[in-house]
Amino acid sequence: MNALFPLFAVLIWSINAIVSKVSAGAIDPAAISFYRWVLALIVLTPFVLPGVIRNRKAIRPHLGKLLILGLLGMVLYQSLAYYAAHSVSALFMGILSSLIPLLTVLISIWLLRIVPTVGIALGSVMSFFGLVWLVSGGNPQQLLTHGIGSGELMMFAASASYALYGVLTKRWNINLPNWQSLYIQIVFGVLLLIPNFILTDNVSLNAQNIPLVLFAGIPASIIAPFLWIQGVVRLGANKASIFMNLTPVFTAIIAVSFLHEQLQSYHLIGGGIALLGVVVAQRLRTPLTRKKKPESVKNTEKEVCSSAD
């Protein structure tokens, strides 16, 4: 039963990739980005704001960090994904999202000074090859002549933004209740989204795009995070993160079934290799380099071996 929490969270986020693709023809990216988080803020306010007010003294020292997290998680990640949806398929978005765990590990090597492993090195190479195969449509030579499209670059930047968000969350370890921390990030996210929203010509809501905003604002922004947090509490972060590997699978099934996107061989090959690289990075944890032992330790080991003989 505990596995259902992260499973349903990933399913909702996978559906949200489809919503992002559909929104490309129904509402401006600046509009849905803004409306989404305003809606989430309105829904959360009665439940979270009283606690935020009571805990304001503890929150105040962390405002700068919460601002950065709001920028990465609520503004860059979501907005870039909405803009990317204008030129890339939902299938591609789902596969790129599956690389977030690997990108998180790579950024952690730099920011958290974690020790590189054989899995990280091998998995990175595999995922890079899979990504090249995917972006080029099965013809890597094409990248040399045509380059990478803006949609692909934006989606990669979106995934990298969310990976950095996760790393900074772990590094800073902000000692606040999860919902209060999320609430303040959403407040900053809404404030940061206002300028782009104001500068957009058409931000009107209608019968076609309101359901998209509702799904993005409540299930994807509130229910899925709640389910994910419950999954992490019950299973642990490592086990829960494995369920993220199902994102491209769920997204592919929904995209083919409802958007009638064509599942091509390069999706299967490139996406499969990229996903396998993520799994390898998660599973093979042998350190890539072993620290050289001090001479005193080596001498002690020799003495122990001699005594045993």
**Cα dihedral 74/77/81/84 (nearest 10):** 130
pLDDT digits (tens, 9 = 90+) for 161-190: 998 998 898 889 889 998 999 999 999 999
Helix (H, G, I), strand (E, B) or coil at 140: coil
What does the pLDDT read at residue 64?
95
Model pTM score: 0.83
Query: How many CB atoms lie under 10 A from the CB of residue 292?
Result: 8
pLDDT beneath 70, residues of the chain? 143-147, 238, 290-309
Return the pLDDT at 265. 83
pLDDT at 291: 53
| Angle, helices 90-97/247-254, rounded to nearest 10 degrees | 170
Asked if residue 31 lies in contact with residue 79, where contact means CB atoms within 8 angstroms, the answer is: no
